[in-house]
Amino acid sequence: MVQTERTRPQVYPTLPGRDYHSEEVFDLERDRIFHDGWVCVGREELLPGPGDFITRDIFGESVLIVRTKEGELKGFYNVCRHRGTRLCDDDGHMKSVIKCPYHAWTFSFDGELLGTPNVHPDEGLDRSRYPLWNVGLAVWEGFLFVHLGENPPPLMDVLRADPDDPLQFERYRVKDLRIGKRITYDVQANWKIVMENYNECLHCPSVHPELVSIVPIYRKGEVIEREGWVGNSLIEGGTSFTFDGSSKLPPLPGIDDIDRHAYYGFALFPTLLINYHSDCVMTYLLWPVSVDRTIVVSEFLFMPETIESPEFDPSEVVDFWDLVSRQDWVICARAHVGTRSKAFTSGVFPKQDVLLHEFTERYLNLRGPAPAR
C-alpha cells in the first residue's frame, strides 16, 4: 500500500486529561464550536405540518424551530422579546401563533410580533422592531442544522469543503428515509471521548466480540480496510449489522452490490455520526450536557414503505446495534474516569488511531488554546 498522509505509521499525542474535565474548556467549546458552527439538531420529519415545532438546547442556548403556514422552516432563539421568557418547551404543535406563557405576547411562525395585550402600538411600542431573534437554519439529507453565529456560511458550502466528503453517500437518499426506531442513552462521559471511541476499532476485539464476528477487519483493530475506499466489508454473505450478518429487511434503493455487503461509518463534525447499511441508516446525535455527561440519541432510518409494512420488524438490526452501543458507553465511562487521574497528562494515538488524530486536530484548530490554569 502506498503510504499516504492518512496511513503513515506515526504516533501522536492525545488531548491532555484536563480537556475532558475542565469547565473552562467546556465553555470554550460552547463559544467557538457549538455556538459558531453548524450543529445538527434532528430530523426534518419531526415537523410534518404547519405549527409543528421542536426545541433543542445547544450548550445552554435553547432554539425553537417551527414550520410556517407556508410549509417553510424557521429557527429562532426560544426567547420572548418582551422580558426574555422561555417561549416553548419540548416538541409539539401550535395552532396559529407562538404565544409567550408570561404576558401572552404573540408572534407569527415567521417571528413577527403580532400581539401585545394591554400594550398598544399607539403608546409608543413599534411592534416591527421586536421580532423573534433568528438563528441560522438549513436542511441536508433530512437533517436539521442550526448556526448560532452571525452571518453563517451556507451549509452546503461547508459540506462541500469538508475533507471527509459527506456528499459521497447521496446514493443512499437519506432525505427520503424515515425514523423507524429511536433509542436515547445517557452516557457518563465527555462528548469527545464518545467521538474518539466511534472513530477507532483498537477496542473492538476486546469490547465488541459480536461486532468483530461480522466485520473481519475489526479483529485487527483497523478501520481503514484499503486505500481509496471508506467502507468495511462484512463477512461472506453479510448484508447488515445483525448477530449473523444477514437481514430480512429489504435493501435500500440506489445502492449497488458492493454497498449491500459493506458498512460505511461517517462522523460529521462536531456531533452527528451516520452509519450506512444496505437495509437502513442508523445515526447517533450527541448532546453534550456537561463535562462528564453526554446524551446520545440513536435513530434507525428506513424507507417509508418498509415501516408501513405489516411485517415491519427492525429488531434484528436494532438489538445488535443496541448491544454494541451499550458496550461502547460502558467503556467510554471507564475511559472518562481514567482521564481524570493526575497520572494521565496525555496519551498516544498509534497509526491505527489516525481518524482520532484528525478529529483532535480539527477540534483544536476551532477551539484554540485552552485557558491558563
Does the structure show a pLDDT above 60 at 7?
no
Same domain, 62 and 17: no
Among 104, 127, 154, the domain-final residue is 154
- The dihedral sign for the CA sequence 209, 211, 214, 219: negative
Same domain, 198 and 335: yes
Among 154, 186, 219, the domain-final residue is 154
Does the structure show a pLDDT above 80 at 136?
yes
Inside any domain, residue 45:
yes
pLDDT digits (tens, 9 = 90+) for 321-341: 999 999 999 999 999 999 999
For the ranges 102-116, 174-188, 217-231, the lowest mean pLDDT is seen at: 217-231
When pLDDT is cut at 50, 70 and 90, the band that residue 371 belongs to is: confident
Inside any domain, residue 2:
no
Q: What is the pLDDT of residue 209?
A: 98
Inside any domain, residue 162:
no
- How many domains is the chain built from? 2
From the list 159, 144, 164, 162, the residue with the least C-alpha distance to 283 is: 144
φ, ψ dihedrals at 213, nearest 5°: -75, -15
Distance CA 79, CA 55 (A): 11
Same domain, 114 and 245: no
Does the structure show a pLDDT above 80 at 8?
no
Inside any domain, residue 5:
no
Encode 356-372: b = buried (16+ Cβ within 10 Å), e = exposed. Answer: bbbbbebbeeebeeeee
C-alpha cell recorded at residue 74: 424557521
When pLDDT is cut at 50, 70 and 90, the band that residue 92 belongs to is: very high
Same domain, 120 and 195: no
Contacts of 91 (CB under 8 A, 6+ apart): 46, 52, 53, 54, 55
Same domain, 331 and 231: yes
Inside any domain, residue 59:
yes
What is the residue range of 139's domain? Answer: 39-154
Q: Residue 295 burial (CB < 10 Å; 0-12/13-18/19+)?
A: middle
Among 90, 124, 154, the domain-final residue is 154
Same domain, 258 and 327: yes
What is the spatial order of strands in the sheet that 98-99 belongs to?
98-99, 106-107, 113-115
Q: What is the pLDDT of residue 10?
A: 74
Q: What is the CATH number of the domain that holds 113?
A: 2.102.10.10
| SS3 per-residue string spanning 222-289 | CCCCECCECCEECCCCCCCCCCCCCCCCCCCCCCCHHHHCEEEEEEECCCEEEEECCCCEEEEEEEEE
When pLDDT is cut at 50, 70 and 90, the band that residue 5 belongs to is: very low
Pairing relation of β-strands 136-140 and 143-147? antiparallel
Inside any domain, residue 213:
yes
φ, ψ dihedrals at 261, nearest 5°: -115, 25
6: number of Cβ within 10 Å: 12
What mean pLDDT is predicted for residues 185-211? 98
Q: What is the CATH number of the domain that holds 321?
A: 3.90.380.10
pTM score, two decimals? 0.94
Higher pLDDT, 17 or 10: 17
Inside any domain, residue 249:
yes
Inside any domain, residue 66:
yes
Q: What is the pLDDT of residue 228?
A: 82
Distance CA 155, CA 139 (A): 8
Same domain, 300 and 212: yes
**How does DSSP assign 290-332, residue by residue?**
ETTEEEEEEEEEE-HHHHHSTT---HHHHHHHHHHHHHHHHHH
Higher pLDDT, 139 or 10: 139
What mean pLDDT is predicted for residues 62-76? 98
User: What is the chain's mean pLDDT, rounded?
Assistant: 95
C-alpha cell recorded at residue 11: 504516533
Same domain, 237 and 177: yes
Same domain, 141 and 228: no
Q: Residue 222 burial (CB < 10 Å; 0-12/13-18/19+)?
A: middle
From the list 26, 46, 44, 24, the residue with the least C-alpha distance to 35 is: 26
Does the structure show a pLDDT above 70 at 279?
yes
Same domain, 92 and 141: yes
Distance CA 338, CA 120 (A): 60
Same domain, 208 and 128: no
Same domain, 332 and 196: yes
